[in-house]
């Protein structure tokens, strides 16, 4: 038997795994005891990874060969790789020449490796000259990105996992961490056991498993986070719990914020958020780390952990910046145990952000709107320019396709016909698009019926490259077995199409690069080396690393030339990545959710993850063991509301929003509050029937945060009726 060290392909905790394999088969998996993200632990999903890669599943569930349709509505038929790659290059070149570069789009995934991302990003922005390259990370972390940039100057989580054991107060908001980031939650449980004085505050409209063990749970009304944050700051200022000297020395914008929160009292927050006034005050005191009225003079550290409850909102960026405000007001950042730490939903959303693999970002945390940054990227890539016009973010990209503006779409490693909001619109977009390429590891997804061309991709246990987890730690991903059939690596497919496009399109190469391919990448390491060079001098500089160093151990960025170890936490010196080195307070006015409940749609619908499932269940849904935890979808509603509707657990209901409806069993649950309903995100049209059904996203809305472009997947107004 052989062993190969790699990482888990599910959540952003980024656990290390040891893959056991023999004669080309994966036979087992266990946690890597030497990986600093998990020290040998795995959750139910990670510990069953080997069962998702059995010979039978590799044979039956995976896509083995390129497949093409003769026309829309025609069956898929096998096609050779060369013909498939030529077809992509021909159709993209024709579309671009007829309609311009912004008539094509790339929709990628936070599950791609950093090397995959780099090649796709360079292909779109460098070779084709369009910024229409976005990813499902837009649905996941883009509000956190915008929040970090607005407040601290760069998309860089300042804290690290070690801080869980060093914090005196842990403030979890918008995250059911016990289910969505289980191994990290186990570390938190260990820290609480070792430190009985630690306080755990959980802010969540639902009484989740995470909330159930909190010292203080604030079950706020969906969308009322900004009011809560402002009211907590109001308490800190009223009780003198803030750090006036630190604010004066290290920040800007405090006066406007102080004016903003003057009237947002705990009494006001109690009314808006629907929680007791005393709990708002208590949360503020624990967060500040000082006893009220200055009884204690030594500030105790506070760590905040947050995820989609903040991000998936039409005011997602405001929710992020106003949470960071609380850290800045108390100097709770850059110190052991203190700081904001966003929990990344996907395994490599961070890596994608690092290479700038989104429509509004540039490589290595450069700004698309900055001409000097665009020129730097163009020079490093060897192209004449990078376009200044921002590309379409995820929701906009599909809206543009529905309008006929984007005509050719390349989708890789994601399933938009289930995961994007407002599925009726998404499906109309996919139907209208003239050419849809789907690069996928799995044979059947909700998006497959809309694809003109399917390209089989390698997957976990087969791929090689690198990923970055929530605490900025870069780990190597390694192959244990060959991909099934003719499946190829994502970076290689993108490279091979790019080289064909170089021969078909007028050159955008600079004179120094004339006559040679810009995509001369023989290995993942060669791609990573180009990415590494892009980071030189930037906040995420990794020029001190080489592939061999990453092979030895995972490293947290930054790690500039001359250093061999990374940095556990950022901003310890109080210097931020803004032009004046100061952090910036934001003072947004609280805004209501994009859609309000009314007599026709009286319930607030939220969605979220289950403990044992991952995204659209392509992998986890193949295991009965994982399905046993929650075998079927159910709409959770408070018992009082069910009584009022004359319904009981198990009854089928039709749940409808302004965009669509679906039929699902209802379940009495103490988790949602009154007039709230909750449905897991994992099931799609094959289980949940309904008009244009993409599961819960048949109901959700496309309203986005104006700063981040992230849609409000966490709130829609719905009606519940007997089916
Ligand atoms: Fe994988 Fe996340 Fe579970 Fe770790 S916590 S084993 S990364 S799913």
User: Judging by beta carbons within 10 Å of its beta carbon (0-12, 13-18, 19+), is residue 278 exposed, middle or buried?
Assistant: exposed
The ligand 1 atom nearest the CA atom of 46: 6
The ligand 1 atom nearest the CA atom of 47: 6
Measured in angstroms, how far is the CA atom of residue 40 from the centroid of ligand 1? Answer: 11
Let me know: does 307 contact 180? Beta carbons within 8 Å. Answer: yes
Which H/E stretch holds residue 341? Answer: strand 339-342
The residue whose CA has the least distance to atom 2 of ligand 1 is 11
> Look-up: residue for tokens 């992230």?
710
Give the confidence band of 148 by pLDDT, cuts at 50, 70, 90. very high
Mean pLDDT of the chain: 96
pLDDT for 687: 63
pLDDT for 528: 98
Six-digit token pair at 283?
A: 């949360």
Six-digit token pair at 359?
A: 């429509």
Residues of the chain with CATH 3.40.228.10: 142-343
Out of 52, 140, 181, 305, mutate this one to test ligand 1's pocket (max ligand atoms within 8 Å of CB): namely 181
In the chain, the N- to C-terminal Cα span, in Å, equals 54
Output the 3-class SS for 690-711: CCCCECECCCCCCCECCCCCCE
Local structure of residue 440 (DSSP, 8 states): E
642-660 per-position pLDDT tens digit? 999 999 999 999 999 999 9
pLDDT for 293: 61
CB atoms within 10 A of CB 212: 12
Residues of the chain with CATH 2.40.40.20: 603-722
Pocket of ligand 1 (CB under 6 A): 8, 10-11, 13-15, 38, 42-43, 45-46, 181-183
The ligand 1 atom nearest the CA atom of 43: 3
User: Quick one: fold of 603-722?
Assistant: Barwin-like endoglucanases (2.40.40)
The residue whose CA has the least distance to atom 3 of ligand 1 is 43
Average of pLDDT values for 239-262? 97
Output the 3-class SS for 193-207: HHCCCCEEEEECCCC
Please state the CATH superfamily assignment of the domain spanning residues 142-343 in this structure.
Dimethylsulfoxide Reductase, domain 2 (3.40.228.10)
Out of 12, 15, 350, mutate this one to test ligand 1's pocket (max ligand atoms within 8 Å of CB): namely 15
Output the 3-class SS for 112-155: CCHHHHHHHHHHHHHHHCCCCEEEHHHHCCHHHHHHHHHHHCCC
Q: Count how many residues are written for the chain.
A: 723
Out of 6, 9, 12, 13, mutate this one to test ligand 1's pocket (max ligand atoms within 8 Å of CB): namely 13
Six-digit token pair at 42?
A: 């795995």
Please determine, looking at this structure, whether the domain spanning 67-138+348-513 carries the CATH number 3.40.50.740: yes
Nearest to 11 by CA among 45, 35, 62: 45
Give the confidence band of 321 by pLDDT, cuts at 50, 70, 90. very high
Residues of the chain with CATH 3.30.200.210: 2-60
State yes or no: pLDDT of 570 exceeds 60: yes
| Radius of gyration of the chain from its Cα atoms, rounded to whole angstroms | 25
Six-digit token pair at 81?
A: 């790789």
Half-sphere exposure of 590 (CA within 13 A, CB side): 19
256-278 per-position pLDDT tens digit? 999 999 999 999 999 999 999 99
Alpha-helix runs per DSSP H in 16-141: 44-47, 55-60, 81-99, 114-121
The ligand 1 atom nearest the CA atom of 7: 7
Residues of the chain with CATH 3.40.50.740: 67-138+348-513
Nearest to 709 by CA among 186, 136, 74, 234: 136
CB atoms within 10 A of CB 100: 11
Let me know: does 580 contact 686? Beta carbons within 8 Å. Answer: no
User: Quick one: fold of 2-60?
Assistant: Phosphorylase Kinase; domain 1 (3.30.200)
Six-digit token pair at 440?
A: 């996928």
The ligand 1 atom nearest the CA atom of 182: 5
Q: What is the ipTM of this complex?
A: 1.00
């Amino acid at each position: 038997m052989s062993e190969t060290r790699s990482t888990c392909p599910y959540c952003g905790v980024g656990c290390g795994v040891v893959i056991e394999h023999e004669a080309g088969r994966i036979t087992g998996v266990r946690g890597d005891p030497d990986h600093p993200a998990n020290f040998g632990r795995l959750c139910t999903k990670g510990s069953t990874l080997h069962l998702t890669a059995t010979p039978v599943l590799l044979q039956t569930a995976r896509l083995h060969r390129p497949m093409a349709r003769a026309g829309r509505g025609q069956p898929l038929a096998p096609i050779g790789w060369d013909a498939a790659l030529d077809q992509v290059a021909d159709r993209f070149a024709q579309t671009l020449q007829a309609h311009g570069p912004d008539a094509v789009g790339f929709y990628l995934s936070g599950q791609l490796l950093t090397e995959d991302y780099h090649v796709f990003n360079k292909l779109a922005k460098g070779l084709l000259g369009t910024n229409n390259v976005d990813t499902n990370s837009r649905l996941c972390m883009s509000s956190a990105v915008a929040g970090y940039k607005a407040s601290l100057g760069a998309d860089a989580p300042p804290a690290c996992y070690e801080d869980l054991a060093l914090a005196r107060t842990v403030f979890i908001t918008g995250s059911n961490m016990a289910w969505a980031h289980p191994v990290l939650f186990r570390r938190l449980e260990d820290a609480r056991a070792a430190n009985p004085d630690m306080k755990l505050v959980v802010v969540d409209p639902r009484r989740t498993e995470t909330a159930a063990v909190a010292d203080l749970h604030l079950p706020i009304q969906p969308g009322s986070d900004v009011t809560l944050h402002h009211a907590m700051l109001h308490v800190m200022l009223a009780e003198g719990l803030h750090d006036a000297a630190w604010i004066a020395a290290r920040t800007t914008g405090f006066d406007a914020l102080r004016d903003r929160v003057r009237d947002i009292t705990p009494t006001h927050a109690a009314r808006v958020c629907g929680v007791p006034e005393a709990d708002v005050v208590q949360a503020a005191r624990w967060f500040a780390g000082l006893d009220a009225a200055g009884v204690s003079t030594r500030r105790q550290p506070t760590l905040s952990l947050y995820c989609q409850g903040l991000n998936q909102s039409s005011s997602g960026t405001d929710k992020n910046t106003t949470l960071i405000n609380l850290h800045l007001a108390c100097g709770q950042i850059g110190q052991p145990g203190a700081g904001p730490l966003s929990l990344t939903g996907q395994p490599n959303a961070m890596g994608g952000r690092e290479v700038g693999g989104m429509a509004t970002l540039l490589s290595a945390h450069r700004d698309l709107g900055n001409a000097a940054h665009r020129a730097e990227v163009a020079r490093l890539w060897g192209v004449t320019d990078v376009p200044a016009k921002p590309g379409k973010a995820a929701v906009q990209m599909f809206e543009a396709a529905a309008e006929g503006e984007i005509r050719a779409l390349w989708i890789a490693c994601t399933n938009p016909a289930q995961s994007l909001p407002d599925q009726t619109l998404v499906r109309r977009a996919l139907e209208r698009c003239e050419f849809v390429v789907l690069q996928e590891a799995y044979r059947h997804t909700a998006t497959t019926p809309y694809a003109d061309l399917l390209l089989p991709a390698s997957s976990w246990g087969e791929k090689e490259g690198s990923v970055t987890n929530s605490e900025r730690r870069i780990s190597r991903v390694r192959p244990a077995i060959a991909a099934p059939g003719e499946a190829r690596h994502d970076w290689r497919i993108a490279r091979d199409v790019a080289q064909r496009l170089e021969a078909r399109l007028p050159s955008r190469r600079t004179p120094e690069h004339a006559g040679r391919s810009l995509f001369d990448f023989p290995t993942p390491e060669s791609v990573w080396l180009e990415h590494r060079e892009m980071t030189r001098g930037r906040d995420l500089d990794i020029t001190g690393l080489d592939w061999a160093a990453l092979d030895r151990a995972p490293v947290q960025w930054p790690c500039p030339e001359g250093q061999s170890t990374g940095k556990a936490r950022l901003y310890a010196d109080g210097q931020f990545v803004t032009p004046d080195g100061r952090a910036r307070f934001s003072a947004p006015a609280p805004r209501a959710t994009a859609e309000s409940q009314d007599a026709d749609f009286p319930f607030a619908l939220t969605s979220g993850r289950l403990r044992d499932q991952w995204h659209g269940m392509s992998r986890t849904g193949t295991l009965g063991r994982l399905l046993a935890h929650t075998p079927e979808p159910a709409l959770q509603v408070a018992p009082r509301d069910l009584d009022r509707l004359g319904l009981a657990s198990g009854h089928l209901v039709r749940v409808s929003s302004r965009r669509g409806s679906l039929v699902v069993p209802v379940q009495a649950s103490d988790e949602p509050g009154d007039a709230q309903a909750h449905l897991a995100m994992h099931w799609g049209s094959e289980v949940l029937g309904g008009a244009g059904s993409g599961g819960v996203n048949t109901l959700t809305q496309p309203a986005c945060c104006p700063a981040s472009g992230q849609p409000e997947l966490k709130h829609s107004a719905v009606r519940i009726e007997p089916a």
